Structure 1
């Protein structure tokens, strides 16, 4: 079963057998408003923790989504090219952004669980 972690930048990361699926939280998509464009990373790209990996553009603003850990992009959510609003309707599900193979699983230790994240957004 996958374990889900959260970042201070409002990303969620679901980890299963060394592969992480990354998206933005419901809170983040509510703050952004209706998404009109998502710029996804290239498959094979190496990301370091804190790197801007994705750009999401809403009717309000453009915002970066950061890599929560080091790793290599193994897949991107192609559905978002045609339907970026999928992030608004299903941020924690079908609106995922990219998948990555973890380079260092110990980096997960610095992330929050759901209770910690809920406490942060209060």
Structure 2
């Protein structure tokens, strides 16, 4: 099960993002920022489109993770200013790990905590909360 972090920020101009060809959802700018911000610390793949937003993959603590991002913009609204964002973290598990209930994704997972603290400690991110 994935874990999600919700927050608000005006740090990104989503109107300048390339279009998500699968579903017109904003969110690539957060993943691009993380890729650049964490260069040398984490190797985050180039973001790609999904029907629920955007995703990248990374290795953290010996595990593979998918991180996802989307910005909430109501239909008819201009995608400017402070927007509400959802950032997801999902840990990949083998078939046997799933069967045995091992290596589960939780809110105390070290990768999830890393990103949660990253957002909490950056003054550009407001109202950071787990949902």
Answer whether TM exceeds 0.5 for this pair: no
User: Higher strand proportion, which one?
Assistant: 1
Structure number with higher relative contact order (C-alpha < 8 Å, ≥ 6 residues apart): 2
When the two structures are superposed, what TM-score results if normalisation uses the length of structure 2? 0.29
